[in-house]
Structure 1
Amino acid sequence: MALGTGYERQGCYLARALEVVGERWTLLILRDAFYGVTHFGDFLAHLDVSRAVLADRLDTLVGASVLTRSPQGRSVEYTLTDAGRELWPVIHRLSRWGEEHLDGNHPPRVFSHVACDTDVDADGACPTCRVTPPVEDLVVRLAPGRNAAERHDPVAVALKQPHRMLTPLP
């Protein structure tokens, strides 16, 4: 049986969501947008994805109102919409699931609540404040005692230091 090209016949909201975020590379693009990546070239360098695939995924995310595309002088900037920011708990939990269940040589990143500098748990809750802070109130950093992967693209270099989520990377 031939593999279908979409989920339209599934008739459920999970299938409809997968139409937007279920393609390869899409969740990694969103992860990087949460880290503060806003420019096509930075997504391209950090993800090692082809230009055509990246352009297609960005177009899909813009078309679904997950990202906005706005001209910034001679370049274009991509930023998360409110609907896009609502995907943070999914991205965070899926990343933690991968850390817990899959082998890998990549150092984990931890997310701490700006208000109290406490690491949030796997579900994104702050155990000190007993709240689930919004993504813009989190700082991402490497887990203690871990070194960053030896990558030299601008995003990887910037993320070697603690960085407030959603703040554009330099």
Structure 2
Amino acid sequence: MLNRRVIDRVSQGLRAVLKHSSLAALSFAFSALAVTAVAVFRYGSISQAIENVRGPAVRVSDSSIELGRLTVGRHRANVTIANSTAEQIQVVGGRGSCQCLSFPKLPVSVPPGERTAVQLLVTTYPSGEGQSHEHEFVLFTNHVGSERIGGDVRWRQ
């Protein structure tokens, strides 16, 4: 008789655990479905939502470059391009918001999962002492969805 009571108690305990496990699994499934629905509604697809959270697949690593105090002349700086895709991409051109910015060493290849420096040439002209400068730049790539990436560069004279 004692064995029957032990078996009944263990069975009741197992049923309770299974009931709670089923509720937890159902709750998790409902939560996952809700997150998926919101992602598709907001971004159009799961992959677009992931890219939005993770950031662009091809991007300028530091989109705001501070060069400090520069004298009149030509100065070189590096713009780092990060490629988180599974394919090699090309940076095929670049342009600044003024003639003082140029990218003389393009095109440049960026291997999958890597970062590559692109040379930025900054030409400064005489201006007022202590004057601050800020200009935007854009780089053009062959990656669909990241055809234009960019940032800004600042310096003082």
TM-score tier, shorter chain, comes to under 0.3
| TM-score, normalisation: structure 2 | 0.24
| TM-score, normalisation: structure 1 | 0.22
Q: Which has the higher helix share?
A: 1
